Amino acid sequence: MTERAAAPAAAPSSIDPAEVAKFQAMAAEWWDPQGKFKPLHMLNPTRLEYVCAQISAQFGRDRAGALPFQGLRILDIGCGGGLMAEPMARLGATVTGADAASGNIAVARLHAEEQGLEIDYLATTAEALAAEGRRFDVVMALEIVEHVADPPAFIATCRDLVVPGGMLIASTLNRTAKSFAAAIIGAEWVMRWLPKGTHDWHRFITPDELAGMAEASGLSVVDRCGMVFNPLGWSWSLSHRDLSVNYMLSALRGDDPA
């Protein structure tokens, strides 16, 4: 009797099924600027400005050029409907968008096709991509760290997905009284931009905690920057002084030892 070879073990995952289900349920509204993702549509130009500045500085790219990121491989992990993946593709990068919610990927693929953009969208996890040996010049993990089951393990996996000399750019919410007031009371309870329960304040991560996770994984943190909402001007801006609510972090992977 011939023995069957054992199936390869599945890659461990930091995915939280309950968190994935939340965004799966809202997938159809990704590209509605007045829908449930209105806060991200408002925030997106500010996120894009930060990401582009960091990538340009690290790789010596002239943002005034037609396709400044041409030749760079960028992964948007937790890409949702593609709000950041699409502008990266328009800037010339070779973009892979990955999300554990298949509904998000279906929406992202359709929208990219309608825009004439070539983006490799995959319904998968960071751990599965790392297990395949995939590597990227830039990994973006935006508004996802607070939704995974094991943030330190997730950041370590993101590090594995970055080539030596490449960078991780992450954004999340600080765990402060101000963030509770803004992200939960304001966005969910008062403005009703998001369904109640979208965020769990206890899962928010302080800048020092996120930096510690990055450093522990072998990355070198090079920048931390807040994103500040101005209710009077109804606009967002970057601030290196105010990281009390939303913030972004950039970290580099050095050359591996020979």
Q: Is there a contact between 198 and 185 (Cβ–Cβ < 8 Å)?
A: no
pTM, two decimal places: 0.86
The reply, when asked if residue 150 is annotated as ligand binding, is: no
Residue 47 assigned ligand-binding role: yes
d(CA 68, CA 188): 37
99 in a known ligand binding site: yes
Beta-bridge partners for 121: 97
pLDDT at res. 95: 98
Q: What is the pLDDT of residue 8?
A: 41
Give pLDDT, residue 188: 57
What is the Cα–Cα distance from 180 to 41, expressed in whole angstroms? 20
CA distance 143 to 107: 18
Please check whether residue 11 is in contact with residue 154, taking contact to mean a CB–CB distance below 8 angstroms.
no
The full 3-state SS of the chain, as one line of letters, equals CCCCCCCCCCCCCCCCHHHHHHHHHCHHHCCCCCCCCHHHHHHHHHHHHHHHHHHHHHHCCCCCCCCCCCCCEEEEECCCCCCCHHHHHHCCCEEEEECCCHHHHHHHHHHHHHCCCCCEEECCCHHHHHHCCCCEEEEEEECCHHHCCCHHHHHHHHHHHEEEEEEEEEEEECCCHHHHHHHHHHHHHHCCCCCCCCCCHHHCCCHHHHHHHHHHCCEEEEEEEEEEEECCCCEEEEECCCCCCEEEEEEEECCCCC
The confidence score (pLDDT) of residue 169 equals 98
* Beta strands across the sheet bearing 94-98: 120-122, 94-98, 73-77, 136-142, 162-173, 246-253, 219-230, 235-239
Determine whether the annotation assigns residue 223 to a binding site.
no
pLDDT for residue 26: 58
Which phi and psi (to 5°) does residue 17 adopt?
-55, -35
Mean pLDDT of each 10-residue bin along the chain, 258 residues long: 40 65 64 84 95 98 95 97 97 97 91 94 97 98 94 98 98 91 65 65 93 98 96 91 96 77
Token duo for residue 227: 């994103």
Instruction: List b or e across 44-71, with b for residues whose CB sees 16 or more CB atoms inside 10 angstroms.
Output: bebbeebbbebbbebbebeeeeeebbee
